[in-house]
Structure 1
Amino acid sequence: MNQTLIIVGAGHAGGRAALTLREEGYSGRLILIGDEAHLPYERPPLSKGVLQGSTDLAECSLCDSARLAALGIEHIAGNPASRLDPQHHRLQLADGQWLTYAGLLLATGGRARRLPQEQANVFYLRTHDEALALRNELKPGARLVVVGGGFIGLEVAATARGLGCEVTVLEAGPRLAARALPPMISEALLALHRQQGVDVHLNVALECVHADAVQLVDGQRVPCDLVAVGIGMQPNIELAAAGGLEVGQGIRVDACLRTSAPDIYAAGDVCEFRLGGVYQRQETWRNAEAQGRHAALNLLGKELPFERVPGFWSDQFDWGLHSVGAMTARSVSRALPDGGLLLFCLDTNARLQGAFGWAPGNRAARDIKLCERLITASIALDVASLADADTSLKHLLRG
C-alpha cells in the first residue's frame, strides 16, 4: 500500500496510530490533522502533574516535532476537518482544500461538557491549555468548588488540596464516580477525600454560578473564588454524523473498529464499540493506546478483532485506584495491608469478570494485572480463596 492515509484527531489515539503505521512499515503519505496546536499528548497528567506544575507538555507528548518530521508524518494544526465525503473518499479542511484518502481514521475525541452559564471564574479540564489556565488560579488559600464527583473532578480536587486550596466537591448523585465504581470503592474514595479536608456534598444540584459563590437548587450558597467543572465529555461525532456514518453515543464500529464506511475506522474516546454485546465508549488512557495501535494495523489490512479487556487507573492523593474488566452484581472483597482492598466481580459461575484495587501508591497494580489474566482464563474460582489474603492470585491462576 502506498496511498494516502489520513488521521483526523491528533490526540493520544490518533498520535499512537500514526506512529504505529510507520513502525509497521507503511511508507505512503500520512497526514495527521489536529484541532489543537500541540503535538499528540497523553491526557492523564493534565489533572495531576501539569496542574501541579511538576510536568510540562514535552513530558506528556508521544513524540517531538523532530521525530514526526523524521517519520514523514504531516501534522496539520489549526486547520481542522470540516466535511467528510465517504462516497468519494475525501475530506475537506476548514480552509476549503480537499484531501483524498485511501484509508481514514477518525480519532476526534471529545470536548468537556459545559455549564449552560458562562462565567469568567469557571474552568474546564480537557486540554493542555485549559489545564494551564486552571493552574494559574490554584493559589494557596483559593476557594475552589469542583462540580462533578467523577475521576476528573476528584483528581483536580486532590491536586488543589495539595497546592493549599480550600476545596468543595459537588456531586449530583448519591455517591462518587457511581458510573464506574462499585459502592465499596466509592465509599473508600469519599472517606479519603474527607480525611484530606475536601468538603464533599452528595445529592446536590447546581442552580447558578456567581462571581463569589455557587448557588445550589436547595438554596445553599457555597462561597468560592473559582469553579472547576468535571461533568463528563461530549464526543465529537459531528463530522462523522454529517458524513452519513452510523453514530450513537459515539462513532459506531464493528469488531475490527471499522465504521459503517468500509475504508474509515474510529478509535479512542469517540469510538463506540460492542463489549459483551452492548455498545459503549471507553474514555481511558488504556483504550486510546490500545485502539490507536489496533486501528493502525487494520488500516493496513490486518482484519484483527479488537478484544482488549477494558481498564483504567486514577491517582487520588497518595492512593491509587486500578480497575480491569466490568462490574457485576456479585462481588467478593479481600483486605490489603495499609487499609487497601481488592474487589472481585464475578458472574453466576464464579468466573472473574472485573476487579478493582484500592491501595496506597501503586501497590494494587500487580494484583490487577493478575486479575486480567484470571478474566482471560475464564475459570471458575473459589470464593473463599478470593477473599483470603493468604491465597495468592497466582495460585488461583494455576488452578
Structure 2
Amino acid sequence: MSAPLIIVGAGHAGGRAALTLREEGYDGRLILIGDEPHAPYERPPLSKALLQGSQDLAGCSLCDSARLAELDIEHIAGNAVSRLVPQHQQLQLADGGWLDYAGVLLATGGRARRLPQAQANVLYLRTHDEALALRAQLRPGTRLVIVGGGFIGLEVAATARGLGCAVTVLEAGPRLAGRVLPAVISAALLDLHREQGVDVRLNVTVESIQADAVHLVDGQTLPCDLVVVGIGMQPNIELAAAAGLDVGQGIRVDAHLRTSAANIYAAGDVCEFRLGGLYQRQETWRNAEAQGRHAALNLLGRALPFDAVPGFWSDHYDWGLQTVGVMTPKVVSRALPHGGLLLCYLDTDGYLQGACGWAPGNSVAKDIKLCERLIIAHVPLPSVGLADPAISLKHWLRG
C-alpha cells in the first residue's frame, strides 16, 4: 500500500485542501490531523454570528464528520503531530504513533497571543470553544474591556454592544488597526465605534489586570467584569522549525507553496510567502481558502505558482470594510454613496495595485470586485478620472 497524503491542521486551509484533493480525483489514503475535536470550520463567524448566538458550529463548518467519512478522509482529532522527520518521510503523533507519508501539507495555523500573566477573568478568541466561553458571559450590562484595537477586538466590541454590554477598547497605538488600514479608514472606524457607545482609548498601555479592574500605566483604573485580549496571533511554526524547515514569521515557502523540505507544503495563516518580493503572512479567510486549494493541486503534482490577489473584509455594525491587492504610496480617493469611500492604490505607471473600501452594508463589494478585475487586467488608469464617481469603474474595463 502506498503512503498517504497527510494534512497537519484541520482548520480552514487544511479542510479546504482535503476537500479539494477528493474533488480533483485523488483516491488514495488521505489523513487530516487536527488539535481541536471539531471538523474543519471557518473562523470569521466566531467574532460575529456565532458570538451573537445567531449561528452554530454547523453553520460555519466546511463539512461535518459524516461528509469526511463519506469522502474517506481519515480525521484524527485531538491527537496533534508532535514530530516531523522529513528525512524519512514520517511523522509522530502525540500518542506516540508513527505515520509514513508521500506528501504533507502543514496548515498548522496559529494561536491567540497571550498576556504574560494568567488571569481568571481574561478570555481570548481564536477557536470555536473560546467563542462559546465568551458568548456565555456577554450579557446586558456586562462591563467588558477589550485589549487590542485590531479587527478581532473591534468585531467583538460591535457584537458585545449589540448584546447590551458596556464596552471599552484599549489600543496601544495612535489609531485602530494601524498596521493594515490607511489613516482615513482608521478614523472612520474610530468614529463609528464611538457613535455606537464604545469607549475607545488610544495610546494607552495596560499595567495590570485584576479580578475586577484593569489598571493603566497612566494611573487610570477601569472597573470591569470581563477582559478580552485581542493582540494578534502567534503562528504555530514550532513543528516545522524542529524538523529543520526554513521559518521566519511563518513557515517559508517558494512560489509553489513548497517548504524547504521535499514533499512538504504549507498553507493558511502559518504560511510565509513572497508578495511583492517580501516575505509575509496573510491571516485572512481569503488566503486560507485560496492557499488550501492551491496547495492541494500542487500536492498532486501540478506545480502551479501561487499568484492569487490578497484581500480581506471586516463588518462593524451596519458598515463594511473590504480590501483587495496591496497598498502603494500613490493613492486616489473616490467618494461612494451614503458617505462611503474607496481608496485606489496605483504604481508609478498608473496601474492599479490595490483598493480599500468603506461603505454601509455590503455595498462596497461591487467596487472591490471591479478593482480586482482592473488589477488582474493590468489597465492603466488616469488619477483624475478614477477620482470622479460619475465615471464608472467598468469604463476602464470596457476600454
Q: TM-score higher than 0.5 here?
A: yes
- Structure 2 match to 1:268: 268
- Structure 1 match to 2:202: 202
Q: Structure 1: give runs of 5+ residues left out of the alignment.
A: none
Instruction: Tell me the amino acid that sits aligned with residue 89 of structure 2.
Output: H
- Structure 2 match to 1:317: 317
**Count of aligned positions:** 399
Instruction: Tell me the amino acid that sits aligned with residue 20 of structure 1.
Output: T
Corresponding residue SS for 1:211: coil
1:158-194 CA distance string (max 9 Å, x none)? 0000000000000011111011111111111011001
- Structure 1 match to 2:112: 112
Give runs of aligned pairs for residues 162-177 of structure 1, distance below 5 A.
162-177=162-177
Instruction: Tell me the amino acid that sits aligned with residue 358 of structure 1.
Output: W
In structure 2, C-alpha distance between the alignment counterparts of 1:243 and 1:323, rounded to whole Å: 36
Instruction: Tell me the amino acid that sits aligned with residue 284 of structure 1.
Output: T
- Structure 1 match to 2:182: 182
In structure 2, C-alpha distance between the alignment counterparts of 1:2 and 1:87, rounded to whole Å: 17
Corresponding residue SS for 1:17: helix
In structure 1, C-alpha distance between the alignment counterparts of 2:224 and 2:327, rounded to whole Å: 36
- Structure 2 match to 1:8: 8
- Structure 2 match to 1:19: 19
In structure 2, C-alpha distance between the alignment counterparts of 1:205 and 1:331, rounded to whole Å: 32
In structure 2, C-alpha distance between the alignment counterparts of 1:300 and 1:311, rounded to whole Å: 26
Between the aligned residues of both structures, percent identity stands at: 79
In structure 1, C-alpha distance between the alignment counterparts of 2:343 and 2:136, rounded to whole Å: 38
Q: Following TM superposition, by how much is the alpha carbon of 1:379 offset from its aligned partner in structure 2, in angstroms?
A: 2.3
RMSD between aligned residues:
0.9
1:260-302 CA distance string (max 9 Å, x none)? 0120000000000000000000000000000000000000000
Q: CA contact under 8 A between 1:311 and 1:323: conserved in structure 2?
A: yes
Instruction: Tell me the amino acid that sits aligned with residue 32 of structure 1.
Output: L
Q: Structure 2: give runs of 5+ residues left out of the alignment.
A: none
Corresponding residue SS for 1:345: strand
Q: CA contact under 8 A between 2:51 and 2:132: conserved in structure 1?
A: yes
- Structure 1 match to 2:219: 219
- Structure 1 match to 2:41: 41
Q: CA contact under 8 A between 1:2 and 1:27: conserved in structure 2?
A: no
Q: Following TM superposition, by how much is the alpha carbon of 1:115 offset from its aligned partner in structure 2, in angstroms?
A: 0.6
- Structure 2 match to 1:98: 98
In structure 2, C-alpha distance between the alignment counterparts of 1:69 and 1:258, rounded to whole Å: 28
Q: CA contact under 8 A between 2:8 and 2:105: conserved in structure 1?
A: yes
Q: CA contact under 8 A between 2:155 and 2:315: conserved in structure 1?
A: yes
Q: Return closer, same or farther for 1:20/1:2 CA change in 2, 3 Å cut-off.
A: farther
Q: Following TM superposition, by how much is the alpha carbon of 1:378 offset from its aligned partner in structure 2, in angstroms?
A: 2.1
| Higher deviation after alignment, 299-308 or 381-390 | 381-390
In structure 2, C-alpha distance between the alignment counterparts of 1:68 and 1:2, rounded to whole Å: 21
Corresponding residue SS for 2:350: coil
Instruction: Tell me the amino acid that sits aligned with residue 54 of structure 1.
Output: S
In structure 1, C-alpha distance between the alignment counterparts of 2:199 and 2:388, rounded to whole Å: 35
Q: Which runs of 4+ in 1 moved over 2 A?
A: none
Corresponding residue SS for 1:51: helix
Corresponding residue SS for 1:155: helix
In structure 2, C-alpha distance between the alignment counterparts of 1:158 and 1:128, rounded to whole Å: 18
- Structure 2 match to 1:364: 364
Give runs of aligned pairs for residues 252-291 of structure 1, distance below 5 A.
252-291=252-291
Q: CA contact under 8 A between 2:83 and 2:92: conserved in structure 1?
A: yes
Instruction: Tell me the amino acid that sits aligned with residue 323 of structure 2.
Output: S
Q: TM-score, normalised by structure 2?
A: 0.99
Q: Following TM superposition, by how much is the alpha carbon of 1:2 offset from its aligned partner in structure 2, in angstroms?
A: 5.6
In structure 2, C-alpha distance between the alignment counterparts of 1:345 and 1:14, rounded to whole Å: 32
Q: CA contact under 8 A between 1:314 and 1:320: conserved in structure 2?
A: yes
In structure 2, C-alpha distance between the alignment counterparts of 1:332 and 1:302, rounded to whole Å: 39
In structure 2, C-alpha distance between the alignment counterparts of 1:145 and 1:354, rounded to whole Å: 34
1:100-139 CA distance string (max 9 Å, x none)? 0000000000000001111111010000000000001100
Instruction: Tell me the amino acid that sits aligned with residue 366 of structure 1.
Output: K
Q: CA contact under 8 A between 1:318 and 1:360: conserved in structure 2?
A: yes
Q: CA contact under 8 A between 2:379 and 2:396: conserved in structure 1?
A: no
- Structure 1 match to 2:128: 128
In structure 1, C-alpha distance between the alignment counterparts of 2:330 and 2:192, rounded to whole Å: 25
